[in-house]
Structure 1
Amino acid sequence: MVKVIFKLKNLLKLRLRLVKGIFISFLMIILPVSLTLSCIDTSLLNGSLMNQEDKRIIQITLNDPIFDSLERKWISSDYFDRGFNYENTRLEVISLYDVLKKNNPDKSLDAIILNCADDYQGVISISDIKKYDLQIALKIKLSQGTDRPEWLQPLIIVVPNHASPPFSERFFTANINELRFVKLADYYAPLRS
Protein backbone atom coordinates (compact mmCIF):
# COMPACT_ATOMS: atom_id res chain seq x y z
CA MET A 1 0.00 0.00 0.00
CA VAL A 2 2.84 2.37 0.88
CA LYS A 3 4.55 1.59 -2.45
CA VAL A 4 1.33 2.39 -4.33
CA ILE A 5 0.95 5.73 -2.54
CA PHE A 6 4.61 6.53 -3.20
CA LYS A 7 4.21 5.69 -6.91
CA LEU A 8 1.03 7.81 -7.10
CA LYS A 9 2.87 10.75 -5.53
CA ASN A 10 5.71 10.36 -8.04
CA LEU A 11 3.24 10.18 -10.92
CA LEU A 12 1.49 13.30 -9.64
CA LYS A 13 4.82 15.17 -9.37
CA LEU A 14 5.76 14.04 -12.87
CA ARG A 15 2.40 15.18 -14.22
CA LEU A 16 2.76 18.59 -12.54
CA ARG A 17 6.25 19.00 -14.06
CA LEU A 18 4.87 18.05 -17.46
CA VAL A 19 1.99 20.55 -17.22
CA LYS A 20 4.40 23.23 -16.01
CA GLY A 21 6.74 22.48 -18.94
CA ILE A 22 3.90 22.68 -21.45
CA PHE A 23 2.71 25.98 -19.95
CA ILE A 24 6.21 27.50 -20.06
CA SER A 25 6.66 26.30 -23.67
CA PHE A 26 3.31 27.87 -24.54
CA LEU A 27 4.39 31.18 -22.99
CA MET A 28 7.71 31.07 -24.82
CA ILE A 29 5.85 30.77 -28.13
CA ILE A 30 2.93 33.13 -27.47
CA LEU A 31 4.80 35.95 -25.74
CA PRO A 32 7.20 36.77 -28.63
CA VAL A 33 4.35 36.53 -31.12
CA SER A 34 2.14 38.90 -29.11
CA LEU A 35 5.01 41.34 -28.58
CA THR A 36 5.75 41.32 -32.30
CA LEU A 37 2.12 41.95 -33.17
CA SER A 38 1.87 44.80 -30.67
CA CYS A 39 4.82 46.53 -32.34
CA ILE A 40 3.40 46.42 -35.87
CA ASP A 41 2.76 49.91 -37.23
CA THR A 42 -1.03 50.20 -37.42
CA SER A 43 -0.73 52.50 -40.42
CA LEU A 44 0.26 49.41 -42.40
CA LEU A 45 -3.03 47.79 -41.43
CA ASN A 46 -5.35 50.78 -41.53
CA GLY A 47 -5.56 52.54 -44.88
CA SER A 48 -7.33 55.58 -43.44
CA LEU A 49 -4.39 56.22 -41.13
CA MET A 50 -2.07 56.05 -44.12
CA ASN A 51 -4.23 58.60 -45.92
CA GLN A 52 -4.04 60.88 -42.90
CA GLU A 53 -0.25 60.56 -42.83
CA ASP A 54 -0.05 61.80 -46.41
CA LYS A 55 -1.11 65.21 -45.09
CA ARG A 56 1.00 67.43 -42.86
CA ILE A 57 1.34 65.55 -39.57
CA ILE A 58 1.56 67.59 -36.42
CA GLN A 59 3.83 65.90 -33.90
CA ILE A 60 5.21 67.39 -30.71
CA THR A 61 7.92 65.86 -28.54
CA LEU A 62 9.34 66.79 -25.12
CA ASN A 63 12.18 68.77 -26.73
CA ASP A 64 9.92 70.69 -29.10
CA PRO A 65 10.63 74.46 -29.12
CA ILE A 66 6.90 75.14 -28.73
CA PHE A 67 7.26 74.51 -24.99
CA ASP A 68 9.72 77.41 -24.70
CA SER A 69 7.32 79.80 -26.41
CA LEU A 70 4.31 79.20 -24.15
CA GLU A 71 3.56 80.45 -20.64
CA ARG A 72 4.62 78.03 -17.92
CA LYS A 73 3.21 77.99 -14.42
CA TRP A 74 3.50 75.82 -11.31
CA ILE A 75 0.22 74.35 -10.08
CA SER A 76 -1.06 71.65 -7.78
CA SER A 77 -3.67 69.14 -8.90
CA ASP A 78 -5.96 67.42 -6.41
CA TYR A 79 -7.05 65.12 -9.26
CA PHE A 80 -3.43 64.05 -9.85
CA ASP A 81 -2.70 63.61 -6.12
CA ARG A 82 -5.87 61.59 -5.55
CA GLY A 83 -5.24 59.37 -8.59
CA PHE A 84 -1.65 58.57 -7.64
CA ASN A 85 -2.19 58.68 -3.87
CA TYR A 86 0.21 61.62 -3.40
CA GLU A 87 -0.01 64.87 -1.46
CA ASN A 88 1.10 68.40 -2.33
CA THR A 89 2.57 67.56 -5.73
CA ARG A 90 3.70 70.58 -7.76
CA LEU A 91 3.64 70.46 -11.54
CA GLU A 92 5.12 72.90 -14.03
CA VAL A 93 2.51 73.02 -16.78
CA ILE A 94 1.47 74.71 -19.97
CA SER A 95 -2.03 74.78 -21.37
CA LEU A 96 -2.67 71.97 -23.83
CA TYR A 97 -5.16 74.26 -25.55
CA ASP A 98 -2.38 76.84 -26.05
CA VAL A 99 -0.33 74.11 -27.72
CA LEU A 100 -3.31 73.52 -30.04
CA LYS A 101 -3.70 77.21 -30.84
CA LYS A 102 0.03 77.63 -31.49
CA ASN A 103 0.06 74.77 -33.98
CA ASN A 104 -3.22 75.82 -35.60
CA PRO A 105 -4.14 72.27 -36.60
CA ASP A 106 -6.47 71.38 -39.41
CA LYS A 107 -10.03 71.83 -38.10
CA SER A 108 -10.82 68.22 -38.97
CA LEU A 109 -8.23 66.98 -36.44
CA ASP A 110 -10.20 66.40 -33.26
CA ALA A 111 -7.93 64.39 -30.97
CA ILE A 112 -4.37 63.95 -29.78
CA ILE A 113 -2.72 60.55 -29.60
CA LEU A 114 -0.41 60.34 -26.58
CA ASN A 115 2.48 58.04 -27.48
CA CYS A 116 4.30 57.02 -24.31
CA ALA A 117 7.84 55.75 -23.72
CA ASP A 118 6.52 52.47 -22.30
CA ASP A 119 4.56 51.61 -25.48
CA TYR A 120 1.29 52.76 -23.93
CA GLN A 121 -0.86 54.89 -26.20
CA GLY A 122 -3.59 57.17 -24.90
CA VAL A 123 -6.01 59.45 -26.69
CA ILE A 124 -7.50 62.78 -25.61
CA SER A 125 -10.21 64.53 -27.59
CA ILE A 126 -9.79 68.21 -28.32
CA SER A 127 -13.26 68.77 -26.85
CA ASP A 128 -12.01 67.28 -23.52
CA ILE A 129 -8.93 69.53 -23.67
CA LYS A 130 -11.17 72.59 -23.97
CA LYS A 131 -13.91 71.39 -21.60
CA TYR A 132 -11.54 70.49 -18.73
CA ASP A 133 -8.75 73.01 -19.47
CA LEU A 134 -6.24 70.15 -19.57
CA GLN A 135 -2.61 71.01 -18.98
CA ILE A 136 0.57 69.19 -19.83
CA ALA A 137 3.32 68.94 -17.21
CA LEU A 138 6.91 69.55 -18.22
CA LYS A 139 8.28 69.05 -14.69
CA ILE A 140 7.03 67.34 -11.55
CA LYS A 141 7.99 67.86 -7.91
CA LEU A 142 6.68 65.26 -5.48
CA SER A 143 6.60 66.03 -1.76
CA GLN A 144 9.74 65.13 0.11
CA GLY A 145 10.00 61.46 1.02
CA THR A 146 7.61 60.36 -1.72
CA ASP A 147 8.79 57.52 -3.92
CA ARG A 148 8.61 58.26 -7.62
CA PRO A 149 8.01 55.31 -9.93
CA GLU A 150 10.31 55.21 -12.96
CA TRP A 151 7.41 55.64 -15.40
CA LEU A 152 6.17 58.87 -13.78
CA GLN A 153 7.99 61.23 -16.13
CA PRO A 154 6.95 64.27 -18.17
CA LEU A 155 5.11 64.87 -20.35
CA ILE A 156 2.07 64.22 -18.14
CA ILE A 157 -1.59 65.10 -18.66
CA VAL A 158 -2.76 67.24 -15.73
CA VAL A 159 -6.27 68.20 -14.65
CA PRO A 160 -6.27 71.62 -12.91
CA ASN A 161 -8.15 72.08 -9.63
CA HIS A 162 -10.96 74.16 -11.19
CA ALA A 163 -11.99 71.31 -13.54
CA SER A 164 -13.83 68.12 -12.62
CA PRO A 165 -13.75 65.50 -15.33
CA PRO A 166 -14.81 61.93 -14.62
CA PHE A 167 -12.15 59.79 -12.98
CA SER A 168 -10.58 58.17 -16.05
CA GLU A 169 -7.25 56.65 -17.06
CA ARG A 170 -6.86 59.02 -20.02
CA PHE A 171 -6.48 61.94 -17.62
CA PHE A 172 -3.49 60.26 -15.93
CA THR A 173 -1.33 59.58 -18.98
CA ALA A 174 2.36 60.00 -18.13
CA ASN A 175 5.76 59.48 -19.71
CA ILE A 176 4.46 60.88 -23.01
CA ASN A 177 7.17 61.19 -25.64
CA GLU A 178 5.01 62.39 -28.51
CA LEU A 179 1.72 64.21 -29.12
CA ARG A 180 0.21 63.41 -32.50
CA PHE A 181 -2.86 65.24 -33.81
CA VAL A 182 -5.38 62.92 -35.50
CA LYS A 183 -8.98 62.48 -36.60
CA LEU A 184 -10.75 60.14 -34.19
CA ALA A 185 -12.79 58.69 -37.04
CA ASP A 186 -9.58 57.66 -38.82
CA TYR A 187 -7.86 56.47 -35.69
CA TYR A 188 -10.74 54.22 -34.65
CA ALA A 189 -11.66 53.17 -38.19
CA PRO A 190 -12.08 49.43 -38.69
CA LEU A 191 -9.14 47.57 -40.19
CA ARG A 192 -9.47 46.97 -43.90
CA SER A 193 -9.12 43.43 -45.14
Structure 2
Amino acid sequence: MLSQEILFAGFGGQGILSMAKFLAYAGMDAELNVSWLPSYGPEMRGGTCNCSVIITESQVGSPIVNKPDTLIVMNRPSLEKFENTIKPNGLLIIDEDMVNIDASREDIDVIKIPAQSIAQEIGNKTIANMVLLGALVKKTGIVSMEVILQSLKDHGKEQYFEMNKIALEKGASYVK
Protein backbone atom coordinates (compact mmCIF):
# COMPACT_ATOMS: atom_id res chain seq x y z
CA MET A 1 0.00 0.00 0.00
CA LEU A 2 1.19 3.47 -0.90
CA SER A 3 1.89 5.50 2.25
CA GLN A 4 4.49 8.02 3.42
CA GLU A 5 4.81 10.09 6.56
CA ILE A 6 7.24 12.91 5.86
CA LEU A 7 8.73 15.59 8.08
CA PHE A 8 10.27 18.69 6.51
CA ALA A 9 12.46 20.79 8.86
CA GLY A 10 14.63 23.89 8.75
CA PHE A 11 14.59 27.62 9.43
CA GLY A 12 11.66 29.88 8.63
CA GLY A 13 12.18 31.46 5.21
CA GLN A 14 13.79 28.38 3.61
CA GLY A 15 10.57 27.25 1.96
CA ILE A 16 9.81 24.38 4.34
CA LEU A 17 6.06 25.02 4.30
CA SER A 18 5.99 25.64 0.53
CA MET A 19 7.82 22.41 -0.25
CA ALA A 20 5.43 20.48 1.98
CA LYS A 21 2.41 22.27 0.53
CA PHE A 22 3.30 21.40 -3.07
CA LEU A 23 3.78 17.76 -2.10
CA ALA A 24 0.40 17.77 -0.31
CA TYR A 25 -1.29 19.30 -3.36
CA ALA A 26 0.35 16.66 -5.56
CA GLY A 27 -0.97 13.92 -3.25
CA MET A 28 -4.48 15.35 -3.52
CA ASP A 29 -4.13 15.71 -7.29
CA ALA A 30 -3.15 12.01 -7.37
CA GLU A 31 -6.40 11.29 -5.47
CA LEU A 32 -4.64 10.13 -2.32
CA ASN A 33 -5.53 11.01 1.27
CA VAL A 34 -3.36 13.82 2.58
CA SER A 35 -2.66 15.83 5.72
CA TRP A 36 -0.45 18.91 5.97
CA LEU A 37 0.45 20.18 9.44
CA PRO A 38 2.84 23.14 9.81
CA SER A 39 4.67 24.01 13.02
CA TYR A 40 6.68 27.18 13.45
CA GLY A 41 7.63 29.70 16.09
CA PRO A 42 6.47 33.30 16.23
CA GLU A 43 9.81 34.59 14.97
CA MET A 44 9.03 33.75 11.29
CA ARG A 45 12.25 34.08 9.18
CA GLY A 46 15.17 32.53 10.98
CA GLY A 47 13.11 30.69 13.60
CA THR A 48 12.65 26.94 13.59
CA CYS A 49 10.06 25.57 11.25
CA ASN A 50 8.81 22.11 10.39
CA CYS A 51 5.89 20.60 8.57
CA SER A 52 4.40 17.11 8.60
CA VAL A 53 2.85 15.64 5.47
CA ILE A 54 1.08 12.29 5.30
CA ILE A 55 0.18 10.86 1.90
CA THR A 56 -1.61 7.53 1.86
CA GLU A 57 -4.16 5.38 0.09
CA SER A 58 -5.84 4.65 3.42
CA GLN A 59 -7.46 7.05 5.88
CA VAL A 60 -5.27 9.50 7.79
CA GLY A 61 -5.89 8.76 11.47
CA SER A 62 -3.88 11.70 12.85
CA PRO A 63 -1.95 14.50 11.12
CA ILE A 64 0.85 14.24 13.68
CA VAL A 65 4.04 12.56 12.47
CA ASN A 66 6.14 11.23 15.35
CA LYS A 67 8.11 8.57 13.43
CA PRO A 68 8.54 9.77 9.83
CA ASP A 69 9.33 7.43 6.96
CA THR A 70 11.25 10.34 5.45
CA LEU A 71 12.93 13.40 6.95
CA ILE A 72 14.16 16.35 4.89
CA VAL A 73 16.43 18.73 6.80
CA MET A 74 17.66 22.13 5.66
CA ASN A 75 19.75 23.00 8.74
CA ARG A 76 21.91 21.38 11.40
CA PRO A 77 19.55 21.97 14.38
CA SER A 78 16.81 20.08 12.50
CA LEU A 79 19.10 17.10 11.87
CA GLU A 80 20.14 17.05 15.53
CA LYS A 81 16.53 17.30 16.71
CA PHE A 82 14.78 14.88 14.34
CA GLU A 83 17.29 12.28 13.08
CA ASN A 84 16.44 9.79 15.82
CA THR A 85 12.72 9.98 15.02
CA ILE A 86 13.08 8.41 11.54
CA LYS A 87 11.70 4.88 11.25
CA PRO A 88 14.32 2.14 10.75
CA ASN A 89 15.03 1.71 7.01
CA GLY A 90 13.67 5.24 6.53
CA LEU A 91 15.05 8.02 4.38
CA LEU A 92 16.97 11.15 5.34
CA ILE A 93 17.54 13.90 2.75
CA ILE A 94 20.03 16.58 3.80
CA ASP A 95 20.93 19.96 2.33
CA GLU A 96 24.66 19.44 2.79
CA ASP A 97 25.36 23.13 2.17
CA MET A 98 23.51 23.95 5.41
CA VAL A 99 24.31 20.85 7.50
CA ASN A 100 28.00 20.44 8.35
CA ILE A 101 27.73 17.13 10.24
CA ASP A 102 26.99 13.60 9.09
CA ALA A 103 23.98 11.56 10.07
CA SER A 104 24.82 9.22 12.94
CA ARG A 105 22.44 6.39 12.08
CA GLU A 106 23.36 3.46 9.88
CA ASP A 107 19.89 1.91 9.64
CA ILE A 108 18.53 4.61 7.30
CA ASP A 109 19.17 5.68 3.72
CA VAL A 110 20.88 9.08 3.53
CA ILE A 111 20.96 11.36 0.49
CA LYS A 112 23.16 14.45 0.78
CA ILE A 113 22.57 17.19 -1.78
CA PRO A 114 24.27 20.60 -2.10
CA ALA A 115 20.85 22.18 -2.57
CA GLN A 116 21.89 25.80 -1.95
CA SER A 117 24.71 25.54 -4.50
CA ILE A 118 22.45 23.92 -7.10
CA ALA A 119 19.78 26.57 -6.55
CA GLN A 120 22.41 29.31 -6.94
CA GLU A 121 23.59 27.73 -10.23
CA ILE A 122 19.99 27.68 -11.49
CA GLY A 123 19.72 31.35 -10.61
CA ASN A 124 17.79 31.68 -7.35
CA LYS A 125 18.95 30.35 -3.97
CA THR A 126 15.35 30.34 -2.69
CA ILE A 127 14.58 27.21 -4.72
CA ALA A 128 16.92 24.92 -2.75
CA ASN A 129 13.75 23.45 -1.24
CA MET A 130 12.60 22.31 -4.69
CA VAL A 131 15.94 20.54 -5.25
CA LEU A 132 15.35 18.49 -2.09
CA LEU A 133 11.70 17.87 -3.03
CA GLY A 134 12.83 16.48 -6.40
CA ALA A 135 15.01 13.92 -4.61
CA LEU A 136 12.13 12.95 -2.32
CA VAL A 137 9.70 12.42 -5.20
CA LYS A 138 12.23 10.40 -7.21
CA LYS A 139 13.38 8.21 -4.29
CA THR A 140 9.99 7.46 -2.71
CA GLY A 141 7.73 7.48 -5.77
CA ILE A 142 4.96 8.75 -3.48
CA VAL A 143 3.78 10.83 -6.45
CA SER A 144 5.16 10.92 -9.98
CA MET A 145 7.35 13.73 -11.27
CA GLU A 146 4.54 14.58 -13.70
CA VAL A 147 2.06 15.01 -10.83
CA ILE A 148 4.40 17.21 -8.76
CA LEU A 149 5.13 19.37 -11.82
CA GLN A 150 1.40 19.73 -12.50
CA SER A 151 0.89 20.65 -8.86
CA LEU A 152 3.50 23.41 -9.17
CA LYS A 153 1.85 24.64 -12.35
CA ASP A 154 -1.65 24.64 -10.83
CA HIS A 155 -0.84 25.93 -7.34
CA GLY A 156 2.42 27.85 -7.69
CA LYS A 157 3.44 31.15 -9.19
CA GLU A 158 3.76 30.95 -12.96
CA GLN A 159 6.94 33.02 -13.10
CA TYR A 160 8.80 30.42 -10.97
CA PHE A 161 7.56 27.30 -12.74
CA GLU A 162 10.48 26.76 -15.15
CA MET A 163 13.07 27.40 -12.44
CA ASN A 164 11.26 25.06 -10.02
CA LYS A 165 11.04 22.38 -12.72
CA ILE A 166 14.81 22.52 -13.26
CA ALA A 167 15.37 22.38 -9.48
CA LEU A 168 13.12 19.32 -9.10
CA GLU A 169 14.93 17.55 -11.95
CA LYS A 170 18.38 18.38 -10.53
CA GLY A 171 17.34 17.03 -7.13
CA ALA A 172 15.95 13.86 -8.73
CA SER A 173 19.29 13.33 -10.50
CA TYR A 174 20.97 12.83 -7.07
CA VAL A 175 18.92 9.68 -6.48
CA LYS A 176 20.69 6.50 -7.56
Structure ID, larger Rg: 1
Please, what TM-score do these two structures have when normalized by structure 1? 0.23
Please, what TM-score do these two structures have when normalized by structure 2? 0.24
Which gives a bigger RCO, structure 1 or 2 (Cα 8 Å, sep 6+)?
Answer: 1
